[in-house]
Structure 1
């Protein structure tokens, strides 16, 4: 199993609206065969808010079906332009070494 993590930062004043945008996007992850689960994490910090999407996949091939051939390149959507302060070019992948309970 592979954990794919993406990080983005918004102005805190736009964080609630961006969170509302991300919630239905989770169903897009879940619609891709091989996706096991998807979560959005949020941390408010001074004048910015950090978001982390954490998705779990059966294999790199299933990630490729979502992200394309360059699986470590971050995937952005047109709506992100109005919220994100920067566009990090890459995501991080981790091989899941152990699980206790549901992933």
Structure 2
């Protein structure tokens, strides 16, 4: 596969580094009370992010947070080489949310669904 350079001068690769072999991102969002931001950050990392990160097939996990006047907003994105590999975490329903034990104590609402997308490009190489 020939490597092209992007307008920024970086190597332009398909997300998986392989032509016609996409990878997938599973994106979860949730919100807490502002006062719970730090405690939920630790809880979500320890019992959510680390668990996903150790799952067979997981290519990586990112956790984002943002504090507003009304809420602590969280986004967790996990990356997977195939839809079948996501089923390790999700079961047959790929967009069903898998809540953590203490989510009802922290989250303002319990989201029922996650977003599943194909990663078309990224600017770092994810090893599949």
- Could you state the TM-score of these two structures normalised by the residue count of structure 2? 0.76
Gaps of 5+ in 2: 1-22
Instruction: Quote the Cα distance in structure 1 between the aligned partners of 2:77 and 2:125.
Output: 14
1:47 shift after superposition:
2.5
Residue 74 of structure 1 pairs with residue 97 of structure 2: yes
4+ long deviations beyond 2 Å: none
3-state DSSP of counterpart to 2:36: helix
Q: Please tell me whether the aligned partners of residues 43 and 49 of structure 1 are also in contact (alpha carbons under 8 angstroms).
A: yes
Match of 1:10 among 29, 32, 48: 32
How many equivalent pairs are there? 103
Gaps of 5+ in 1: none
3-state DSSP of counterpart to 1:52: strand
CA deviation vs aligned residue, 1:46-89 (integer Å, no higher than 9, x gap): 12110000110111111101111111111102211110000111
Give the root-mean-square deviation of aligned CA atoms: 1.1
CA deviation vs aligned residue, 1:18-39 (integer Å, no higher than 9, x gap): 0010122322112211100001
Larger of the two Rg values belongs to structure? 2
- Could you state the TM-score of these two structures normalised by the residue count of structure 1? 0.94
Map of 1:59 onto structure 2: 82
Q: Please tell me whether the aligned partners of residues 32 and 62 of structure 1 are also in contact (alpha carbons under 8 angstroms).
A: no
Map of 1:85 onto structure 2: 108
